[in-house]
Structure 1
């Protein structure tokens, strides 16, 4: 990812207190800290108001739907607390460590030495930098990935079940809220899918590097083979792994695991009410 894109993300993210104000904002001043506190209070108030507005909707839910709805709301407030308080205050340095790692990787890609040994040395440096950056990413955003997946799954379960059993009642009571929730579910799924596919894309490119190294091994001299074998070992043992709060790995298979769990749990919910 280009650092200009990260700077743009910071430019907009600072208004929601989700990112530092810039890539150089290591130590925020008092006004920035006060602003972040105010934003957190706004998030909490919106959570309370949301629970109040949805009180009539909760009344028509089955017990298992109500549990999922409550967990969804709790997931929201934990998500906000994690990002605004833990990440922005206690793990703020991770943003800049991640940027530093990305900057080093980008700089190394721009070098084109002719000798195989130098080329491999610089690529190995980039591989190690990538692994370090992914570890920092996991420490900083692993919980947010988990929160997003849980938010998408829980909201989807409730609304699919409601649409199957109580669609007429739900639409009649509040059609605007119904369509708002549908749009919200689509938005969260787009974000979740984008994160999963981007992580998988990085892993796919990493596998292509390893495959290319094996291909080169068959075409080089004995001395060069030793160099490429060392390179293969470095690539193999430094394979990055995206983790959702260390509970599970994030790659393309995650999508099917989530869909499988959704289907299983939805069947249980349907049968639960029929019994």
Structure 2
């Protein structure tokens, strides 16, 4: 069987392409689950913002908003605890895969087999899939945190308003303090916060390693 496979390069290409395609589909579904959960939290936070901006808010309504905010915050903690390591591994896999594909191409640039359409297609799909995970997850985390920041800004502005009673302002102050002391944060297993600036730092580090590979190859 091995002799047959070794003598048939097209069959190996088919097996490789099938493997990459299957892995891509499975991981894409995994990304979908993470992003759907994040978008649900974002939508809930948007509803909180909408209720705060609807009109004059009384203490009873503010207590409901505070409880709702706490429930969302607890959900984010549970989400981070369950998915944080998976997100970290997604970033790590993206980093290693980019280095592998780019480094392999540079080190074997003279090999005619590497210049084939099949290898180029597989490499392109692999790189695109590696980039898709960190980009989509970071975007969903950022947009969700943006909605939570809006809650803080709205409550702070309402607190400064003169039309609210002391009881109302007390509830608003409580909600503002909860946000400032323990804001919602998405992290990759506690190693770094998931945001756009860290994502750009991640890819700049990858580019630096690629430059090192190029220099080593030219020596």
Tell me, in whole angstroms, the C-alpha distance in 1 between the residues paired with 2:207 and 2:215.
12
Which TM-score applies when normalising by structure 2?
Answer: 0.68
Q: Which residue of 2 aligns with 1:237?
A: 181
Q: Cα distance, 1:161 vs. partner? A: 3.2
Partner of 2:191: 247
Paired residues in the alignment total: 180
What is the deviation of 1:183?
0.7
1:176 Cα deviation from its structure 2 partner: 1.4
| C-alpha separation in 1, matches of 2:131 and 2:109 | 21
3-state SS of paired residue (1:167): coil
Give the 3 Å change call, closer, same or farther, for CA 172–263 of structure 1 in structure 2.
closer
Measured against aligned partners, the alpha-carbon deviations of 1:134-169 in whole angstroms (never above 9, x if no partner) come to 111111111111111111121112222344453352
Trace 1:23-38 onto structure 2 (pairs within 5 A): none
Name the structure 1 match of 2:18.
Answer: none
Structure 1, gaps ≥5 residues long: 1-52, 55-75, 84-94
Deviation at 1:257, TM superposition (A): 1.4
Cα RMSD for the two superposed structures? 3.3
Q: Secondary structure at the match of 2:111?
A: helix
1:261 to 187, 205, 217: 205
Q: Which ranges in structure 2 are unaligned for 5 or more consecutive residues? A: 1-11, 14-22
Distance in 2, matches of 1:166 and 1:217, equals 64
1:116 is displaced (CA, Å) by: 1.4
Quote the residue 1:90 is aligned against. Answer: none
Q: 1:213 aligns with which of 145, 155, 173?
A: 155
1:195 aligns with 2:137: yes
Contact 2:138 2:194 in 1 (8 A): yes
Q: CA deviation at 1:233?
A: 0.5
Runs of 4+ in 1 over 6 A off after TM superposition: 110-114
Which structure has more relative contact order (CA 8 Å, sep 6+)? It is 2
Distance 1:184 1:117, change over 3 A: same
Q: Deviation at 1:194? A: 0.6
TM-score normalized by the length of structure 1: 0.56
